Structure 1
Amino acid sequence: MIINYDSPGQLCNRMWSLVPSIAYGLEYGENVLVINLDKYSGDFEDLNSNKLIRFASHKTIKRILMSLKARGYIQNGKSNIFRKLFNLNFVEGWSNRLGNAGMVEKQSDAIRKIFAFKFDITNPVDQIFANQNEFIIVGVHIRRGDYKEWLNGVYYYTDDEYICILKNIEEQLKLEGKKVRFLLCSNEKIDLYNYKHPDCFIIPNTSGPQDLYALSKCNYIIGPPSSYSQWASFLGKVPVKFIMYSNEKIDLSDFSKIISFNTFENRKSLNID
């Protein structure tokens, strides 16, 4: 059995840290126990829909395992007395996210089913998108908050910088005879007054999981590099383009779907850490 016990960051970081061991379990029929999704478990319809993958809250066990890790008795995926005696393989979080990329791609549909959001999250978004059929919807992840400090703010863009990029994308889609709207999602409140042109909208009274699902419903996703936008692309099979510097000239051909962490369908990779 594989046991995921660490808690690396927020929702999308945690999901990406789980995906490699979940894919391994699905590939080889091995049981996987997840005890580190914690407060985020309530956002999903049925995390235990697959008999091989189980999610549970074992806070006491988790504290014990973290204590053993701190003392050096268990290390990420390495053989130890628990593995030798009980066939238990303890896997921690973020450092594991890049593993088993081929299996993640192969098992991606089963993984998406496990992490299906609950109806209360999806229904309001689905109702809004039901009235957008005449448009190409470009999801825009305006990442603020911690990005002002992370890597000295290199991926923290102003409203004017986003608008410039959106207008460029709008022009390209219009040349193809398509009507376009931009869905704006952010971890800070968005002032739509600053986005009067091009045509932009938001999900009213939204939340992080709801915006994540909404981005997965778009035709394209654009924003600074993040695990959040990567998950939206992976979840909805949506082409994404990450803005790597301000005033970047972006072409529609630059967009590609995420098939595993930091890996695009066009076989390019994202390397930022």
Structure 2
Amino acid sequence: MIFVRDKGRMCNNILQFGHVYAWAREHNRSCMSMRFAYKYQYFHICHTRWHNFLTYAMAKYAAKMGMLPVAGFHNVGDNPEAQQLLENHHNIVVEGWEVRYYDLFLKYKQEIINLFAFNPNITNKVKSMMGKTDTTRLGLHIRRGDYKTWHGGRYWYSDTQYAEVVRRFANSHSGKPVEVYVCGNDPNLDSIRSVVDPNIRVIIPHGNPAEDLCMLSECDYIIGAPSTFSLVASMYHNRPLAWIMSADEELKFDTFDNLFKRII
């Protein structure tokens, strides 16, 4: 059994586990996520075999006491020692953000999506909230919080800057009315209403992390600061995603299959 652990945020955990799952699947190995065994109980994977607190606790303390080897993928690029440990031990803990098997991830992407299918109560709530309208739905992910200092605040944008990005998007998609579905980690998200063009409908449901992720995934287009949250949202239904690399740059939409190889 490969036990996968990390301390990152929810969508970092999804991507990290996805890479390890794909490698394990290719090599006929079993794999479980220690993170989703007890936390973020929003997904199908949380209800599958081995994903429970007892398995999590046993693996955690077995690794702590040296009964399970730990392969740490912490270096950008190659991690030969960790890779060798993974290949040589049937029961092992894998940790670290830099575990990457891009081609295998794409090979087993649909299986990974199925594992992280939302619980029905989440899907039903989001689809009921969004309804059916003849509009272009733009998902806007406003990432602030730690982005104030991360990379020197390079990807921290003001309400006015986000509103300008929305305006440019709406102008280039004038065939239908544009609705903007907003989520993010700023407790004052509603403040953006005052600066977005009043002709553009803005919806801010203030959902939990999984509801926000599901909502973004159901939009026609997704825009946000570079983040694994918007990246994972785009994965579910192959939605076009544009990361705001600079508030003044033209938006460049791309697919998950390309963007997940360029995670910052």
TM-score by length of 2: 0.84
Q: Does structure 2 retain, via aligned residues, the 8 Å contact 1:125–1:214? A: yes
Deviates more, 1:193-202 or 1:203-212: 193-202
How many angstroms does 1:205 deviate by? 4.3
Answering whether residue 149 of structure 2 is matched by residue 153 of structure 1, we say no
How many angstroms does 1:255 deviate by? 0.9
How many angstroms does 1:45 deviate by? 3.3
CA distance in 1, matches of 2:205, 2:164: 24
CA distance in 2, matches of 1:230, 1:200: 24
Gaps of 5+ in 1: 264-269
CA distance in 2, matches of 1:73, 1:121: 37
Paired AA for residue 143 in structure 1: R
Q: Does structure 1 retain, via aligned residues, the 8 Å contact 2:37–2:51? A: no
Secondary structure at the counterpart of residue 201 of structure 1 = strand
Q: Render the CA deviation track for 1:126-151: whole Å, top value 9, x for unaligned.
A: 0122232x011010101111111111
Q: Say if 1:68 and 1:194 are closer, same or farther in 2 by CA, change over 3 A.
A: farther
Answering whether residue 60 of structure 2 is matched by residue 59 of structure 1, we say no
Q: Does structure 1 retain, via aligned residues, the 8 Å contact 2:3–2:59? A: no
CA distance in 2, matches of 1:207, 1:109: 24
* Structure 1 residue aligned with 2:213: 212
Q: Say if 1:216 and 1:227 are closer, same or farther in 2 by CA, change over 3 A.
A: same
Secondary structure at the counterpart of residue 12 of structure 2 = helix
CA distance in 2, matches of 1:35, 1:271: 23
How many angstroms does 1:111 deviate by? 0.8
* Structure 2 residue aligned with 1:93: 96
Say which of 238, 258, 268 aligns to 2:256: 258
Q: Does structure 2 retain, via aligned residues, the 8 Å contact 1:8–1:94? A: no
Q: Does structure 1 retain, via aligned residues, the 8 Å contact 2:179–2:200? A: yes
Q: Say if 1:155 and 1:41 are closer, same or farther in 2 by CA, change over 3 A.
A: closer
- Map residues 22-61 of structure 1 onto 2, 5 A cutoff: 22-47=21-46, 54-57=50-53, 58-61=56-59
* Structure 2 residue aligned with 1:267: none
Q: Render the CA deviation track for 1:143-177: whole Å, top value 9, x for unaligned.
A: 11111111111100011111111111101101xx2
Q: CA RMSD of the aligned region, Å?
A: 2.6
Gaps of 5+ in 2: 73-81
Answering whether residue 10 of structure 2 is matched by residue 11 of structure 1, we say yes
Q: Does structure 2 retain, via aligned residues, the 8 Å contact 1:25–1:32? A: yes
Secondary structure at the counterpart of residue 94 of structure 1 = coil
Answering whether residue 167 of structure 2 is matched by residue 167 of structure 1, we say yes
Paired AA for residue 42 in structure 2: D
Secondary structure at the counterpart of residue 62 of structure 1 = helix
Q: Say if 1:34 and 1:129 are closer, same or farther in 2 by CA, change over 3 A.
A: same
Q: Does structure 1 retain, via aligned residues, the 8 Å contact 2:228–2:263? A: no
How many angstroms does 1:75 deviate by? 3.1
Q: Does structure 1 retain, via aligned residues, the 8 Å contact 2:180–2:201? A: yes
Secondary structure at the counterpart of residue 256 of structure 1 = coil
The alignment-based identity, stated in percent, is 26
Q: Does structure 2 retain, via aligned residues, the 8 Å contact 1:105–1:260? A: no
CA distance in 1, matches of 2:228, 2:153: 17
Secondary structure at the counterpart of residue 75 of structure 1 = strand
Q: Render the CA deviation track for 1:157-199: whole Å, top value 9, x for unaligned.
A: 011111111111101101xx22211111111131233335352
CA distance in 1, matches of 2:118, 2:145: 24
CA distance in 2, matches of 1:68, 1:200: 56
